[in-house]
Structure 1
Amino acid sequence: MSGDDNDSPDRAEDLGLRERKKRQRHRDISNAAIGLFLAKGFDAVSVAEVAAAAGISKPTLFRYFPAKEDLALHLFADHEDEAARVVAGRPDGVRPLDALRAHFLDGLDRRDPVTGLNDAAPVLAYHRLLYGTPSLVARLHGYQRRSEAALAGALGAGVVAALGSGQIIAVQRILAEENWRRIKEGESADGVFPDAVAAAELAFGQLRTGLSLW
């Protein structure tokens, strides 16, 4: 036998299974926490309560989530590098900005909560929790900075890529917040949809003018 046992298919499968179990545990703990936060308010729930609800100890919880705010923001974890993944996985010949525009418009069409265009009751409750809790809003900025850094890496090194990624992530955030604002005030997702599409087209059009390289 040649090579390291770590390279065997069985070893790779075991690693994949452990990673899936770890991700599922993250989701289970986060879901337990969010349920408590929605029922009682973020500040009224202790980490000890979350650990008890998830059936784990506090030290175990902190191995998965370094801070209490991360328990609520885990729903954003898969989206941190989403823009970077869109750029990296775009078809040949498609410019990065065009790929990101198409992805955002598709998200609006699917009523992806990340676009702010979703009026399902659980999503509304979560958004109220998020934007109504100052510590969560502050923590969310860290997620956005990491999104910018990941996108800048996908666009290429240097100041130009950093400036471009900052503008793109900011535009997506502003579009989502405007959609959420209107839905919070009582409009339906279907009612906001045409304006959301028009605003996205306008915003990405302006980005295209300013970011001529992309």
Structure 2
Amino acid sequence: MGVGLRERKKQETLRRISAEAIRLFVERGFDRVTIAEVAAAADVSVNTVYNYFPAKEDLVFPGGDALPDRLADVVRTRPVGESAAGAVLAYLREALRSRDREIGLAEGFGRVLAMMLATPALAARLTGLGEQMVRSLAVVLAEETGAAPDDPLPRLVASQIGWLHSLVYGEVGRRVLAGDRPDDIAESTVDLLDSVEWLLGDRIMSYAVRES
């Protein structure tokens, strides 16, 4: 069943508000732009902005409710025979090879990232998001492996997977800010993942393999 007209209009409004907000934030700085100015630029009311984005920071992190579960969702939906770490590596490789906007390889992302890192509230949100991803993933790993409550392995493995996820985003961000070409960034970061897989070793790469 296709998406209804009402839902399409809702998604169009959400994208327009977010796009206008980010444009203003990049041009003038996050703290110097008001919600009223974002609403005017997007041709909507202030209440409409708050309906879609309860907090100002949410304008930079659309779909924020789903973000903390990103790694957990990748692991939950992995195919039979795939480990948790293997699933995340495969997800990151595909995102890099397809130049996915989600991973930061979109045109103009360097300016957006610079704005985010220069804003304490957004930088803190990024750090907190990574921590939430690890906690959510640790819960999934504990459930799937039947680990005892005092077993540290799910948390330790989740931390390593969170590290490799942060490593990739950090590498992409660093090179985007340096002005490197997206194709060059993607190719070299895929190569970096090969080294990461070797570094993680069999113990982590074989942990929580999905069974039939």
TM-score by length of 2: 0.77
81, 90, 93: which one aligns with 1:102: 90
Q: Which position in structure 2 is the counterpart of 1:3?
A: none
Task: Quote the offset at 1:136 in angstroms.
Answer: 0.8
Q: Which position in structure 1 is the counterpart of 2:134?
A: 148
Distance change in 2, residues 1:30/1:186 (3 Å)? closer
Distance change in 2, residues 1:183/1:30 (3 Å)? closer
Q: Which position in structure 2 is the counterpart of 1:172?
A: 165
- Give a deviation string over 1:11-34, Cα, whole Å, max 9, x none: xx8x98766655544333222211
Task: Quote the offset at 1:55 in angstroms.
Answer: 3.4
On the 8 A contact 1:84/1:150 being kept in 2, the answer is: yes
Distance change in 2, residues 1:56/1:203 (3 Å)? same
CA distance in 2, matches of 1:17, 1:210: 49
On the 8 A contact 2:97/2:187 being kept in 1, the answer is: no
185, 190, 209: which one aligns with 2:183: 190
| Number of positions where the alignment pairs a residue of Structure 1 with one of Structure 2 | 200
On the 8 A contact 2:76/2:140 being kept in 1, the answer is: yes
Distance change in 2, residues 1:174/1:56 (3 Å)? same
On the 8 A contact 1:168/1:207 being kept in 2, the answer is: no
42, 45, 52: which one aligns with 1:57: 45
- Give a deviation string over 1:138-192, Cα, whole Å, max 9, x none: 1122322332233233323454323322321222112221232123223222233
The code of the aligned residue for 2:175 comes to: R
Task: Quote the offset at 1:71 in angstroms.
Answer: 0.9
The code of the aligned residue for 1:66 comes to: P
Comparing 57-66 and 94-103, the one that deviates more: 57-66
CA distance in 2, matches of 1:102, 1:95: 10
Task: Quote the offset at 1:210 in angstroms.
Answer: 4.9
SS in 2 for 1:161: helix
CA distance in 2, matches of 1:204, 1:75: 30
SS in 2 for 1:111: coil
Is 1:137–2:131 an aligned residue pair?
no
Is 1:124–2:118 an aligned residue pair?
no
Greater relative contact order (Cα 8 A, min sep 6): structure 1 or 2? 2
On the 8 A contact 2:111/2:177 being kept in 1, the answer is: no
- Give a deviation string over 1:81-135, Cα, whole Å, max 9, x none: 332222111111222221111111111111224444x2x4322222222223222
- Give a deviation string over 1:26-53, Cα, whole Å, max 9, x none: 3332222112212222121111211222
The code of the aligned residue for 2:28 comes to: K
Q: Percent identity?
A: 35
5+ residue gaps, structure 1, are 1-12
Q: Which position in structure 2 is the counterpart of 1:163?
A: 156
Q: Which has the higher helix share?
A: 1
On the 8 A contact 2:135/2:158 being kept in 1, the answer is: yes
CA distance in 1, matches of 2:8, 2:132: 23
Q: Which position in structure 1 is the counterpart of 2:146?
A: none
The code of the aligned residue for 2:85 comes to: L
Q: Which position in structure 2 is the counterpart of 1:28?
A: 16
Distance change in 2, residues 1:28/1:208 (3 Å)? farther
The code of the aligned residue for 1:213 comes to: Y
The code of the aligned residue for 1:121 comes to: E
CA distance in 1, matches of 2:138, 2:7: 27
The code of the aligned residue for 2:86 comes to: D
